[in-house]
A and B are shown apart, each in its own frame.
Chain A
């Protein structure tokens, strides 16, 4: 396969990005298994698409379905968000008791690409949040999840994100309830939620 000139330019750009690349590496204090065993109250303070800071405190009284991802992720992220969208549709009148939240782990790029366009395309109820690098790190730490920027010439802008692809359920009191692992179907998530509502 011959590379066309704009492909070559993309390659050069990608390579340049790798040279100037600095890894964001953050390791969780505890692993996922430990996280599930002990009760804890995750928290975040992150900007929404309009720049308003949204915090966990304002959602007390509701169940939260929280997913960490990035919008340049065509495979894993749409699968989970589609399931969340299906769950919100199927909850019917109970949908008001559940707030789905998408937290960007690639906040700068996602703000540039447009966060609300992305979440709304899946479901208007999904709230997209993209904070600063520091705010994102502390949100991830409080959920005990992992993410990392990886240099990758085969990805847009020369990097991709590795991340915990789970969906996290937070109770109305703010306490962590459980994780739905990647690939959990919408009906399974729905019936778990319905048993709690």
Chain B
């Protein structure tokens, strides 16, 4: 909750830098949460984030929730034999000592049933549910259609 309040304060003061904030829960570090502009509210939005597990036991991201969308889910873009598809990811492994990225062309949060179109500079909270660490809320900044990710000094690609 403390992190959430902190994040909320940041929304008001520095929206551009918000995607660069880091939230931790147990051994997990969650950062670089961002989304893209949507053209209308009838098309799904997307959610990307980076999760680092500095602990010694494996965890997994098992779900997301947000007031911004009625049906948020985890998906994985798979390109196999030259065909791209986007199956539901029941659980995204976050192995001990490793980091996982939800990033374009791979895992992503699919935000269906948007309550409103996402505009550049908007922000909204997403709660991530981990199998072991529990729930943590991050603020997600909406970047332009052409964005490839937040511009953070420490962004590890």
Chain B interface: which of A18-26, A71-79, A95-103, A132-140? A71-79
Contact flag A117-B39 (CB < 8 Å), given A74-B110, A156-B44, A183-B105: yes
CB distance from B87 to the nearest CB of A (A): 7
| B86, CB-defined interface residue at 8 Å | yes
CB distance from A176 to the nearest CB of B (A): 15
| B100, CB-defined interface residue at 8 Å | no
A186 CA to B64 CA, complexed, in Å: 32
Binary B-proximity of A1-22 (CB < 8 A = 1, otherwise 0):
1001011001100000000000
Chain A interface: which of B2-10, B49-57, B70-78? B70-78
Residues of B within 8 A of A122 (CB): 145-146
Pairwise interchain contact A164-B84, C-beta atoms closer than 8 A: yes
Residue in chain A with minimal CB distance to B144:
A82
Pairwise interchain contact B75-A154, C-beta atoms closer than 8 A: yes
| A160, CB-defined interface residue at 8 Å | yes
Binary B-proximity of A91-134 (CB < 8 A = 1, otherwise 0):
00000000000000000000001100110011000000000000
Residues of A within 8 A of B88 (CB): 152-154
| B140, CB-defined interface residue at 8 Å | no
Interface set, chain B 29-53, CB cutoff 8 A to A: 36-40, 42-46
Binary A-proximity of B71-95 (CB < 8 A = 1, otherwise 0):
1010101010011111110000000
Residues of B within 8 A of A75 (CB): 46, 75, 77, 86, 104-105, 108, 110
Give chain B's interface residue range (CB within 8 Å of chain A). 35 or more
- From B43, B85, B105, name the one whose CB has the most chain A CB atoms within 10 angstroms: B43
CB distance from B136 to the nearest CB of A (A): 13
| B113, CB-defined interface residue at 8 Å | yes
A76 CA to B46 CA, complexed, in Å: 11
Partner of B82, one of A32, A114, A154, A183: A32
Pairwise interchain contact A182-B84, C-beta atoms closer than 8 A: yes
Pairwise interchain contact B46-A163, C-beta atoms closer than 8 A: no
A38 CA to B38 CA, complexed, in Å: 39
Interface set, chain A 163-197, CB cutoff 8 A to B: 163-166, 181-183
Partner of A113, one of B40, B84, B129: B40
Residues of A within 8 A of B42 (CB): 113
Residues of B within 8 A of A6 (CB): 70, 113
Residues of B within 8 A of A146 (CB): 82-83
Contact flag A74-B44 (CB < 8 Å), given A6-B70, A7-B71, A82-B146: yes
| B16, CB-defined interface residue at 8 Å | no
| B121, CB-defined interface residue at 8 Å | no
A81 CA to B112 CA, complexed, in Å: 21
CB distance from B5 to the nearest CB of A (A): 22
Residues of A within 8 A of B39 (CB): 71, 114, 117-118, 121
Pairwise interchain contact B110-A154, C-beta atoms closer than 8 A: yes
| A56, CB-defined interface residue at 8 Å | no
The 5 nearest A-B residue pairs measured at CB:
A154-B88, A162-B85, A74-B46, A165-B84, A82-B146
What are 9 residue pairs bridging A and B, where the CB atoms are less than 8 Å apart in the complex?
Answer: A4-B70, A10-B70, A72-B44, A76-B77, A78-B145, A122-B145, A146-B83, A154-B88, A163-B83
